[in-house]
Structure 1
Amino acid sequence: MTEPGTSRRGPREGAVPAPGGRLLPATHGSLARGASAPLPGTVFALALTGGMTLGPGEGREVLFGRNRPEVHVCLGEDDPQVSRHQGTLTHQDGRWWVSNAGRLPIRCLGGRLLFRGEEPLPLDTGYTPLFAGGSRGREHLLEVFVTGPEGERPVPRHGDVTRPPRVWALTEQERLALVVLGRRYLLHEPRPQPLTWRQTAAELAESQPWAGWTDKRVEHLVNGVRTRLSRDGVPWLTREELGEPVGNALNDNLIRALLASTTLVPMDLALIDAA
């Protein structure tokens, strides 16, 4: 019996390209380095075992999944938790889309999970990594690259000066409060969450009993930083953007933004001992 969502084509000796397509060997370099084709809108799809490239055309498809004889790109062939037909890249309305035909969701850019039965997601020009979940926490990478107009391929800039990240200025009190608030993130704990205002104030009061730390003071300092970053264009730092209920999301997003920009780094944990 065919697994729901799988192709019903007869078995083949191995993956073959879709009509008009071309196979990519397993030795093909990562698509993160770019790809080029004479025809804009050409899609490249690559897994560890190889891949395929296919030009644009209404209704054209690239199937990927575990069952090598019935898909164009074999993904996670040694992992029974990956579906035999995990998903499909389809060209429709002038662009490529990804849909999920498998039992487990596909993780897309920004952590977006695409489930079976949901509307396909559009693929932008350039590089897109897609991840299929597997057994024991494994994730199987499908690299996708959609070419743009000729000449759009990124130019190597080996000698250019490295652009520094945007680092936000913090006062000593703001930095200390944020380090304590986000201590679990700086310690690389799995699935960290911010401390509460009360927990943060209690830890600060223990290390600086003379400084008058209270939960209201911590909240005021942290909200001031969050407001500044939001005004500078950092998303998901306001209740209006998130909607209710907010929970810990505002502080979680703030701490992650500060870490991503290197405004906070693990070495800042030394501030707690020095306080």
Structure 2
Amino acid sequence: MIKKGQPQWKIEKRRLKEGRGQGHFADYQPYIKTYDFSSEGVRTRSLGWNSGRHHHFMSRDEYNYFLTLEFSDRIVDIREQYPLLPKERTIEIAKELNVPHPSDDNGDPVVMTTDFNITTLGEQHPEDLQDKIRTLKPTIKLTQSTLQKFEIERRFFEEKGIDWGIVIDEQQPANLIFNLDWIYDSYYLSAKQGLNPDNVSYVTPYIFDAINSNEESFINICLSLDKDFGYKPGSCLFIVKHMLTNKIWSTDMYKDKLINQTNIQLQIVE
């Protein structure tokens, strides 16, 4: 955690020495981590499906957007809390725009960060990877000072030839986010005690057929199957979520609250 009054140069030196803002995939370290600040607001740390590392989010909006990125087949890498370095260039841009540069309580300029640096497959040729910068902000919080900060960001990445954009809350698919949040922690089989690849491989055909041939709540179907197989309650439901997160099975994730649905249809992903 940052000590109050600690000079910026000292904070920046320590973070850069730790490798913050550097690397890709599992090796990437966000420039800002959830434990760098006192517990104000919503902070989340989640183990990524693709990166295998913990991702750090400073707001629920960031976490929600991250869920949609994780679920996309076009996303290769997600680097959150990405720093705009060198800081000297953002200071210069702020002067050129005649707007204040983000600073600490002492008035010292801080290293600016953007919410997400996303690496995607190329549009025409998938192997031509592209970086895209996306920053999030609820519409109600798009104040003049925020827009000034965003203009510094936009110009900084424009100079680097990197696509930059704002994601507002109205653009985020609420049903998809709810459903992804519900299944998210089931990606790793080790998260559920008593399950292993062998017994999961054995029961999945039975679960698949039972859900697709029954109009009852699929949660009740799973609980019934738990009894049939001698599993702890919730095991078969976890398996369904595990199959969905790993995209071995698919269903309409845009439905309103999958947890409440009856007669859902599962498909095997080819």
Structure with the largest fraction of helix: 2
State whether TM-score is above 0.5: no
Instruction: Give the structure-1-normalised TM-score.
Output: 0.30
Q: TM-score, normalised by structure 2?
A: 0.31
Question: Which structure features the higher share of strand residues?
Answer: 1
